[in-house]
Structure 1
Amino acid sequence: MLKGKNISLRNLKESDIDFLQKIENNPTLWEFGSEQKIYTKQELLSYIKNSKTPLKIAKQYRFVVDYNNTPIGFVDLFNYKKRSASVGIIINEKHQNKGFAKESLKLLSYYCFNVFGLNQLSCSVGKDNVKSNKLFLSASYKFLKEENKLNFYIFEQQ
């Protein structure tokens, strides 16, 4: 578990199933992810069971963002390649605009660079997603390019 000032990042556990199902099966969030389908509880329980597979093997890893021992979001690593990975983040609406997403990204980058041995994190954000564009810039990601209505950002180990 990674502890910050206000939140912590931890592994998925079975008790997260209802929160995971609520986020994954919310069609209004599908535009921000790669999958657009309803997951069964059994599929998500299987996902949780396999979620501790190391990043280098699974090529992805999901952390739960906890606030006061309650899950409020997820931070994902995916597209792992050698010493880099892509980042995705979701914080439930009730807990947005409170600094939790920025703190999550800061904890994640520290962990990625010092434990996973990565030296680069990247993300793509819809050009119209003003909140996320501001978030990644505020978390020290640098604008790289704009392509096909997406803004691409990069964060490199200093």
Structure 2
Amino acid sequence: MSHEAIMTTVPVLETENYRLRGLREDDASELFGFMRDKNTMKFITPDPVKSETDMWQEIQMQLENFAKRKELPWVIEDKDNGEVIGKFSLHKLSMWHRKAELGVIIREEYQKKGVVTEVLEQIIHYAFDTLELNRIVGDIFAENEGSEKLLKKYGFKEEGTMRQTDFDGKRFHDTVIFSLLKSEYDALQEGR
């Protein structure tokens, strides 16, 4: 299947407990409910969305990026209750360079409960085996020990630290870059 055919709609991906489906305009209210929370967003941005209108505009931007084949935006739903519990994207997507960055936000009450552990495997599989990407990047705040541990669990290699990349209003934060290559992913799959 061609990349053009793949990129006409955001695919539904399923795990045992979660469903990833394409981001929609009508997700603004549910996403705003947790993406406005500073604690939920502490490793993402010091300046979370301020209104449902801002959230809707952010969704519009992501949908425009999808139309330009620069992003695949999903929401994560809990299969038990259908609630939107997070957002996941492959952004900075380049089909020419065959690479993308991971972006994930999980509602606070679902954090540290294995959600990302469960969905990340499905995303990585989709990125390498369906989209045929060669490189996936995860860049995280240096203090984000949980994400660092998770990326390493899936074979991501630390590439380095970008110093003082983000300001939170009080201090600067370093960003640590991790990546996983298709050849590394294949080797890990053969070893299982």
CA-CA distance at 1:85 after TM superposition: 0.8
Q: CA distance change for structure 1 residues 95 and 65 in 2, over 3 Å: closer, same or farther?
A: same
Question: What are the superposed Cα offsets for residues 17-41 of structure 1, whole Å, 9 maximum, x if unpaired?
Answer: 2221123322344553368353543
Tell me which structure has the larger Cα radius of gyration: 2
Question: What are the superposed Cα offsets for residues 93-152 of structure 1, whole Å, 9 maximum, x if unpaired?
Answer: 211222210111111111112332212100111121111111211232222223313221
**How many residues are treated as equivalent by the alignment?**
158
- Give me the TM-score of the superposition, normalised by structure 2: 0.69
Q: CA distance change for structure 1 residues 78 and 136 in 2, over 3 Å: closer, same or farther?
A: same
Is 1:89 matched up with 2:114? no
1: CA distance, partners of 2:108 / 2:70: 28
**Structure 1 counterpart of 2:91, from 65, 74, 78:** 78
Is 1:23 matched up with 2:48? no
Is 1:154 matched up with 2:176? no
Q: CA distance change for structure 1 residues 97 and 28 in 2, over 3 Å: closer, same or farther?
A: closer
- Give me the TM-score of the superposition, normalised by structure 1: 0.82
What is the SS of the residue equivalent to 2:149?
A: helix
2: CA distance, partners of 1:108 / 1:133: 17
- Gap regions ≥5 residues in structure 1: none
2: CA distance, partners of 1:25 / 1:101: 20
**Structure 2 counterpart of 1:132, from 147, 150, 160:** 147
CA-CA distance at 1:46 after TM superposition: 5.0
Once the two structures are overlaid, the 10-residue window that deviates more, 16-25 or 91-100, is 16-25
2: CA distance, partners of 1:58 / 1:92: 27
**Structure 2 counterpart of 1:117, from 132, 136, 141:** 132
What is the SS of the residue equivalent to 2:77?
A: strand
Q: CA distance change for structure 1 residues 71 and 147 in 2, over 3 Å: closer, same or farther?
A: same
**Structure 1 counterpart of 2:120, from 105, 112, 124:** 105
Once the two structures are overlaid, the 10-residue window that deviates more, 33-42 or 137-146, is 33-42
**Contact 2:41-2:105 at 8 Å conserved across structures:** no
Query: What's the Cα RMSD here?
Result: 2.5
**Contact 2:43-2:144 at 8 Å conserved across structures:** no
CA-CA distance at 1:55 after TM superposition: 4.2
Output the amino acid matched with 1:78.
H
Question: Which position in structure 2 is the counterpart of 1:145?
Answer: 160
